[in-house]
Structure 1
Amino acid sequence: MLAAAEGGSNTEIAARLGVPRPTVTTWRSRFAARRLDGLLDEPRPGRPRTVTDEQVERLVADTLESTPVDATHWSTRSMAARQGMSQTTVSRVWRAFGLAPHKSDTWKLSKDPLFVDPLFVDKVRDVVGLYLNPPERALVLCVDEKTQIQALDRTQPVFPMLPATPARASHDYVRNGTSSLYAALDITTGKVIGSLHSRHRAVEFGKFLRTLDQQVPAELDVHLVLDNASTHKTQTIRRWLAVHPRFVLHFTPTSSSWLNLVERWFAELTTKKLQRSTHRSVAELNADVKAWINTWNDDPKPYVWTKTADEILDSVANYCKRITDSGH
Structure 2
Amino acid sequence: MSAAPPTPDDMLVFDRRAVARHRTRAATTLAQHDFLFAEIADRVADRIQDIDRRFPLALDLGCHDGALGRHLKASGKVDTVISADLAPAMAQLAGGTALVADEEWLPFADGSFDLIASAASLHWVNDLPGTLVQIRDALKPDGFFAASMIGGGTLTELRQAFLAAEARVEGAASLHVSPFVDLRDAAGLMQRAGFAMPVVDLETITVTYGDVFGLIRDLRGMGEQNALAARRRKPLRRETVLALAEEYQARFAGPDGRIPATFEIVTLTGWAPGPDQPVPKRRGTATHRLADALGVPEIGTGDKAG
Fold-level similarity (TM above 0.5): no
Q: Which has the larger radius of gyration?
A: 1
Greater share of helix residues, 1 or 2?
Answer: 1
Greater share of strand residues, 1 or 2?
Answer: 2
Smaller-chain TM-score bracket:
under 0.3
